[in-house]
Structure 1
């Protein structure tokens, strides 16, 4: 009995062993075949991504010759652009890349087998309306991430800026102007965008109508709000008259989130001044840029020497930015961002010459006086910073209140992680928008943590001139409610904000590592 059971158990073990061996073999075989198929498909895909494989089907009589003569191959960079780099979505768009590859491959093979190439209308296929269907714009952007390379012409800078700001509205692709970059055409005339300010238009379109451009700046005869007109442009912006007066600058330790550099509170008296209703917009900043842009990468010492020379009328403005200074958020009325303090000061210098008035950055005292709008509370609207802030123990259990602040401030709770247009918030009691939040704003003062303690208890028109960094005020779209209080102070981090700038020397015009920085202007009153 035991012998039979033992024999049976032994037989079952052998059977199971054979089963597992078979299963392991088939599993290994399946895995091997699967890997082989994947590798084969990949190698096939790689092969059919070569220029030679493309030319097997694309039998245009001049395709190889024109491609090798194009600027994408025949250039000084040493970089060779292949067929698939232009004609397929970039590999970073994995699904789009491989599905487009499969569709085009099947269509090309079918055409090669069933059609006679002598019947093809090669000239028709070289025209723009045909080309735009086979050149994904994402592929152009994949390689040309910097639209403002060294050596770019002034006309091209203006056109690229206009394209960047109006891409969706224009419904244009890169190939619309650069049709000859992939296949050389000696008779091609480089495209121009009609209606681009300062750039003219295509050979078939009229130059921009300048009849509505302002001829003179706005004259001031009395101290009141006015709309400043910028001569030579169709642009204007509102300046708010701020009556002079006295206020308590800073905060006490009784104010929630008070910091040491906000004390001691001082009685400050200011002369009347005008302040821009909103932060300087991209429309205004690009007008300045187009009017003053520097050639190439102008050495900083040459720029400083030119702009500080009273005998030189022309102002050297920004060099081309590296990348997209608007972060792809859009231009128009959004606040201009990422410019340096020096660039903001140069804008004021340009605006002063254009209008005949004295424009400059606000002093820190002027900024806080304007931001408070006559109030002495943490914000110019009702509310306790503790209720609005995400800081504190109780925020682990209860959400911060957003109702009382969101109508007046663009901050981390309502910004959608980008700047917003000024129309999205209400003005403060002085009629100024976005004094708190949206973007940090440059002041004319150097930052000094002990600035208030170094002044007397009563002071008139103060300004700090010693320090290595500049004061910035108001917080930005990423700020917590605690950091957008009227008294909250901050300062530039110049080296940190330029950390990833690849240029040498680093730019004096554009920051590479800060987004939420901008400025508004004040105008001195002579009334």
Structure 2
């Protein structure tokens, strides 16, 4: 299925899976020997591993929303994304930026009006994932598409996202447990990106995925559900508020996270993400107004009930 702005959608079947992780600290140390132990211990919000049932099929974007697709939305709707509207800008890559000379020890310069969804500080084509988009921007895109197509578009729940990411797998990554295997299926922080951030090079994968920054959204093979870039290239907003203890009280069927909160969950990692944080189970979060040069969008379109 292809929609009004060229997004291709894949039907994800209903089903059950095990969400989260039950991996031991010893196992993590063996897989990630160069990581500080505190990073390996700081994963309790992925536990307990628990059964989840997705009771309804849904259409999911085959790819992340691209720069070209988001540009069509902006042009046709008149919507002004938050990275431009509030005049504070977004984040961006600046080769002359020195994080050691600022209070923020960050790998990117921000916020700055010179950066936005159109200008992340490095070249992108129309077929690259759009970045510097907020959770609110994603909601605006979903609402506009819903009205335009008389359908229901939305962000995936966190459970739907992990179910689609795993696509029947039970391993750390969709293609297995070996972190180095990521280079074959995902655009993450590896030997191609490390020269741009020598301070972080110790956590780079040894392999080459061919990209230092974002890649075209069909650059890597799809998972078993036929979906590309569920890990890597750009983090993906979900619908859910973040809750550290969400899994301890999660219902079996179609969990949706807390009713309220301060931050929204994002999943999947990006072109700048270390292997530990590109696992299917890893959870991260930001405020709904956050715009960042690592974060993008993937939408769900609900299946229309039969009449």
Q: Deviations over 1:223-243 (max 9, x none)?
A: xxx222x1xxxx422110011
Residue of structure 1 equivalent to 2:76: 291
TM-score norm. by structure 1 comes to: 0.43
Checking the alignment, whether the CA contact within 8 Å between 1:326 and 1:336 is kept in structure 2 is no
Counterpart Cα distance in 2 of 1:337 and 1:326: 7
- Runs of 4+ with deviation above 4 angstroms: 294-299
Q: Is the 8 A contact 1:364 1:443 kept in 2?
A: yes
**In the alignment, which residue of structure 2 is the partner of 1:242?**
12
**Partner residue in 2 for 1:227:** 2
Match of 1:435 in 2: 230
Higher helix share: 1
Change (3 A) 1:455 1:382: closer
For residues 145 and 152 of structure 2, the distance between their equivalents in structure 1, rounded to whole angstroms, comes to: 8
- The answer as to 2:301 corresponding to 1:516 is no
- TM-score, length-scaled by structure 2: 0.73
Q: How far has the Cα of 1:525 moved from its partner? A: 1.1
CA distance in 2, matches of 1:298, 1:479: 28
Equivalent pair of 1:448/1:466 in contact (CA under 8 Å): no
1:285 is paired with a residue of what secondary structure?
helix
Report deviation, 1:322. 4.8
1:461 aligns with 2:236: no
SS of 2:124 mapped into structure 1: coil
What secondary structure is seen at the aligned counterpart in 1 of 2:247? coil
Superposed CA deviations along residues 248-300 of structure 1, whole A, max 9, x for unmatched, are 1110033635710001112111121110100000111001111223589878x
Between the aligned partners of 1:470 and 1:433, the Cα distance in structure 2 is: 22
SS in 2 for 1:476: coil
- Over 3 Å counting, the alpha-carbon distance change for 1:494 and 1:526 in structure 2 is closer
2:124–2:214 CA contact under 8 A, matched in 1:
no
Indicate whether 1:336 and 2:130 are aligned: yes
Give the match for residue 151 of structure 1.
none
- Show the counterpart of 2:47: 263
Give the 5 Å matches for 1:27-66.
none
Q: Counterpart in 2 of 1:412?
A: 189
The equivalent of 2:168 in structure 1 is: 374
- Separation in 2, partners of 1:419, 1:295: 23
For the Cα contact (< 8 Å) 1:242–1:275, is it kept in 2?
yes
TM-aligned CA deviation for residue 430 of structure 1: 0.5
**Equivalent-residue separation in structure 1 for 2:158 and 2:288 (angstroms):** 19
Structure 1: distance between partners of 2:247 and 2:218: 34
- 1:257-406 correspondence to structure 2 within 5 Å: 257=40, 259-270=43-54, 271-294=56-79, 322-323=114-115, 324-384=118-178, 388=179, 402=180, 404-406=181-183
CA distance in 1 between counterparts of 2:297 and 2:61 reads 10
Tell me which of the two structures has the higher relative contact order, counting C-alpha pairs closer than 8 angstroms and 6 or more residues apart.
Answer: 2
What is the deviation of 1:490? 0.4
Segments of structure 2 that go 5 or more residues without pairing to the other structure are 29-39, 87-112, 191-208
Matched, 1:485 2:270: no
8 Å CA contact 1:352–1:359 kept in 2: the answer is: yes
Task: Give structure 1 stretches of 5+ with no counterpart.
Answer: 1-225, 300-320, 389-401, 498-510
Change (3 A) 1:295 1:337: closer
Residue aligning to 2:304: 526
